[in-house]
Amino acid sequence: VKRYLPPPTCFLFENNLEESQQQALKKVVKQYENGLPLKDLAQIFKILNLCAEKIHNKEVFLEPTCEILKLCGMTFLKTQLLDCMRIVNDCLLIILEGYLMRVPSSQVKIQICKCVISFYHAESPKKQLETGFTKQLILFATFVEVKSYNPSVKGLQLNYSYEDFELKKLLFNMVAVLAKDLCAVPLLSEGKMVLALFHYVKPIEKPGVHDWSAAQYEELQLHAIATLATVAPLLVEDYMTCQGNTRLLLFLEWCVAQDCFFGQGNSFHGTGGRGNKLAQMRYSLRVLRPMVSLGDDAVNLDLCDQGVINQLLDILKNTTNNSKEKDDAIVMEIQTDILLILSTLCENDPHRKELFGSEGVDIIIQLMKIDPNKFYSGLGHNRLLFSTLDCLWCCVLGCYIAEDYFLEKEGIFLILDLLSLNQKNICNLILGILVEFCDNPKTTRHINTWRGKNNQTAASLLVHLWRQEEAELGVKHDQHGRIVDVKKPLVSRFQEQQEVTPMPANCPTFDIMEVSENTRAKIYSILFRLGFENLPGLSAKDFVTLAIIRRYLDFKVGEVWSEVCAELKEENFRPVTPDQEALKVITETAENVGKMVATLQTEMLESQRFQEIQEEEKIYAKIQSLHKQREMVNKSWEDFLTRTSNYEVLKKTKRLQEKSVEASRPKGRLQNATVHSTEIKGLNTTIASGRLVTVESTPSQLTGGPLADTDLALRKLSVRGGALKKIKGVKVVDPFKKDSVAVK
């Protein structure tokens, strides 16, 4: 520290002083390369604090500071009996001063974080690897399953006691822990650990064949398969040498087969496997899933050549159709693993998608009909739905045969039903699937046909999701949904708070990353495929929002150019005159687009207001007409009462009626024309006569009939056809009686 601090006369030779200080720092790093002594910590932190003050003006001190910080991440050395608590307290006080946190360098801050991590993750030296102890443990774990000529296990045997059973499980646990250390992986390969674990991946034989009891052997088998799921992905070559794919597929075939085996289900790994083989199937798929996820072409090709797709589809079909096991957590985990395996195998491979085919599509459609109320039941329905949608994306999209079959089964309706649930965690995934499906020209017809709750259309649903997304992002709009800031119509609240940070050309900026972080780009893509014209079921508010969606791409381009201008200004760069003019034109064009959309939105709202006023006037006119009609009915009834209660009024009305009838007749008459009278004389009614028959209870012989006191008064008429004739009586012969009766 004395050498680092400048003497009073050294300010005249500043360059020499800096070189001397840098040399002193290098010597400090060299001196303590094996660790910092506790007694020197206070002095080291004084040096760091002095470096922190220098870095503000001299960046040459940045590298020595980071090197000293690396030493702080190592184990501290204790050279003699010291008062450790006093030293620790002194160091804490020095650290709390926070000199290094004032340094405006990300490199120093990252190094400080690494030191803190090393404090809390201090691992003891792996002496078991260096001494060969790990190799011996691996040998003891495999000597029963793999024949070894090592003298250490020559006379060693297991007597299948309870202690040996517990020892075997401890050895399996030890292997799973060692697999986390990459230094131990070569030892696991050398000890043929994969082969030893595959010894248990075989059908369980009849009871009594093994020296272990049935429950003990089942527990060891499940424990070995669980350990294999950790070890096999690290030893792919050993896995392929042992024909791991073949062994696993044969074992899965045994798990599906119907035989007399019944699982005990007593162990931790045997949960849910009592009376069945679900535990064995569950852990076999746990081995297969990470192997497929490695993306190793040899492993995946070997699996597909052995018919793994059809075999897994059969298992998935059986578990899906079995109503008793439908809501079992273990069964849903098995289904989830199978769907993830199929997704990995079929992704980017058209031939495998064809193998998935219609059978797989039927299963996907059945799984998509999960009750939404069960998503958060804790049994795994949400994971099953996620894996189903992922399988739909990877196994169906891109294969036109499978896509068409999915559309025929009304799969798009199921997707839109899920989207209408408005589950935030799956909306982005579902919208991505719809975007991919829109490449198929048949999809748009299905989307436009769909109707949701309250007869909601797909376009209305998408516009609603857009408004909801912008509300969460904090995009500024007025109460009617119109644009507020025409320069930045899409900018969220978080974007406004972000400072301009110049980024390298190969790094995406925040405005670019924002496209993939929310659903607006996907909604725009779907509506673009549907067409922005003639979308059904949209309200005026929806059309206002649709005007923004339609110009999303233009707004986003203008936003990116604004970000470019801001970065140039932040870096104090001035573009050449042509580029400056081009940037100005682009900025003005983007602003004009915003103004145009805002004007269009205002016109839409005014048109809607005018239409509402017209509809209101029509409703009021209809109400007025109803009132007027009611008044006319009341007046007609009053006139009727007046006519029926006052004979003079009745005669007057009759005269007016006759006068009106006479005025309506033509004035001129044709020659030789026969005039027929249309009036019945003697009537005292003022209404037009019609073809109505009045049936009265009083006999017509007593009243004279309705035409009494007229020329057509009741007469004796012939019942035969022909003209009316006046006769005295008519005899009707009854065919069933001999005598006849006269009828008047």
The token duo for 147 is 């024949």
Residues 6 or more apart whose Cβ sits within 8 Å of residue 658: none
Mapped to the 3 state alphabet, what secondary structure does 278-325 carry?
A: HHHHHHHHHHHHHHHHCCCHHHHHHHHHCCHHHHHHHHHHHHHHCHHH
Q: Is the dihedral of CA 229, 235, 236, 239 positive or negative?
A: negative
Q: Report the first-to-last Cα separation within the chain, whole angstroms.
A: 148
Which residues face 457 on adjacent strands?
451
pLDDT band of residue 66 (cuts 50, 70, 90) is confident
Which residue, of 598, 621, 644, is where some domain finishes? 621
Highest mean pLDDT among 22-26, 396-400, 681-685: 396-400
Query: Per the structure, how many domains does the chain have?
Result: 2
Q: Is residue 381 part of a domain?
A: no
Sorting pLDDT into bands at 50, 70 and 90, what band is 63?
A: confident
Coil, helix or strand at residue 451: strand
Count the helix, strand and coil residues of the chain and give each as a percent rounded to the nearest 5: 65, 0, 35
Q: Rounded to an integer, what distance in angstroms lies between the CA atom of residue 410 and that of residue 366? A: 12
CA distance 656 to 667: 19
> Which range has the worst mean pLDDT, 122-126, 147-151, 652-656?
122-126
pLDDT value of position 438: 92
For residue 686, the model assigns a pLDDT of 62
> Comparing 643 with 631, which gets the higher pLDDT?
631
Sequence-separated (6 or more) residues with CB below 8 Å from residue 227: 172, 173, 175, 176, 197
Would residue 407 count as lying in a domain? Answer: no
In a domain, residue 634? The reply is: no
Reduced to 3 states (helix: H, G, I; strand: E, B; else coil), residue 730 is: strand
Confidence of residue 342 (pLDDT cuts 50, 70, 90): very high
Instruction: Give the pLDDT band of residue 527 (cuts 50, 70, 90).
Output: very high
Structure tokens at 27: 């010597």
CA atoms within 13 Å, Cβ hemisphere of 57: 4
Of the pLDDT bands very low, low, confident and very high (cuts 50, 70, 90), residue 559 is confident
Give tens-digit pLDDT for 576-632.
889 889 988 988 888 898 899 988 988 888 888 998 899 999 999 999 999 999 999
| pLDDT 10s digits, 677-727 | 666 676 666 665 555 555 556 666 666 666 666 655 555 444 444 444 444
As a whole number, mean pLDDT of residues 206-211 equals 56
The answer to whether residue 456 sits within a structural domain is: no
pLDDT of residue 319: 87
- The parent domain of residue 548 ranges over 493-621
Q: What counts of helices (H) and strands (E) characterise the chain?
A: 32, 2
Of the three residues 120, 147, 168, the one that is the final residue of a domain is: 120
Q: Which two tokens stand for residue 140?
A: 């003891």
Residue 137 has pLDDT above 80, yes or no: yes
Q: Please indicate, yes or no, if residue 640 is contained in any of the structural domains.
A: no
Could you give the count of Cα atoms lying within 13 Å of 566 in the half-sphere of its Cβ? 16
- The Cβ of residue 1 has, within 10 Å, a number of other Cβ atoms equal to 13
3-state DSSP call for residue 71? helix
pTM of the full structure? 0.67
* Residue 121 and residue 115 in contact, taking contact as beta carbons nearer than 8 Å: no
Q: What is the pLDDT of residues 409-439, one digit of tens each?
A: 999 999 999 999 988 888 999 999 999 999 9
Q: Among 589, 621, 653, which residue terminates a domain?
A: 621
Q: What is the per-residue pLDDT for 461?
A: 94
Res 462 pLDDT > 90: yes
Strand partners, 483: 477
Question: Tell me, what's the pLDDT at 514?
Answer: 82
pLDDT greater than 80 at residue 334: yes
- Asked if residues 482 and 595 have their Cβ atoms less than 8 Å apart, the reply is no
| 8 Å CB contact between 593 and 554 | yes
Note the pLDDT of residue 129: 57
251 assigned to some structural domain:
no
Banded model confidence at residue 568, pLDDT cuts 50, 70, 90:
confident
Other beta carbons within 10 angstroms of residue 298's beta carbon come to 11
The pLDDT of residue 477 is: 86
168 has a pLDDT exceeding 60: yes
Comparing 315 with 47, the larger pLDDT belongs to 315
